[in-house]
Amino acid sequence: MFNDIPKEMLDRMQQLEQMDARDRADGTDRMQRLRQIPPETGKFLALLAAGAPQGNFIEIGTSAGYSTMWLALACRQAGRKLTTFELLEEKAALARETFKLTGIEDVVELVVGDAREHLPAIDGISFCFLDAEKEVYVDCYEAVAAKLVPGGILVADNAISHGKELQPVLDRALNDERVDALIVPIGKGELLCRKI
């Protein structure tokens, strides 16, 4: 997956990394910033997704599609498709541009709206990356954990960087008898859960 990333994708990754770094440095409003995962988290997600069991792949919090590109590498590898949810139309427009430029429109479906309204309609989830506003994590966790297939994986970002705000969902997952869970100190800290 990582040894032959297409040039268009490497270029777009680099462009979004530069935009994200610039936004963080110049004080751009929080809701406008891309707030992307770092590349090592992208690789971690791709490795986990490529080994996930049969089922639906989802992502909650697309932004400009940076993490989606890493997940698309796993989709290509494993012959899967991903549905990614983004609340804001401006971010969705950037994501559409990303998917077009990098030729991954065939493996990625973008849904614009609040993921919580769509999750009840999705069954048989085998991989989920949760990276949205912190207030929605508990609701998303409950909706996804109930639909994970055996061996299905849920990863939630910011488990260390926003550990205090996320304490309720971390406590819930780490004490949830339906899953094996731990916090992985990579990037901003990833809550990693596997359905038993």
Footprint of ligand SAM (CB under 6 A): 35-37, 60-61, 63, 66-67, 85-88, 91, 114-116, 131-133, 136
Indicate the residue among 172 and 188 with the shorter CB distance to ligand SAM: 188
Nearer CB in complex with ligand SAM: 22/196: 22
CA distance 39 to 34: 14
Comparing CB distances to ligand SAM, the nearer of 77 and 83 is 83
Q: Compute how many other C-beta atoms are within 10 angstroms of the C-beta atom of residue 143.
A: 19
Q: Closest separation between CB of residue 118 and ligand SAM, Å?
A: 8
The partner residues of 33 in beta bridges, in order of sequence, read: none
Cβ proximity to ligand SAM, 15 vs 151, nearer residue: 15
Between CA 131 and CA 90, with CA 83 as vertex, the angle to 5 degrees is 65
> How far apart are CB 182 and ligand SAM at their closest, in Å?
21
- Residue least distant from ligand SAM (Cβ): 61
Residues 41 and 26: beta-carbon distance below 8 Å: no
Strand partners, 195: 179
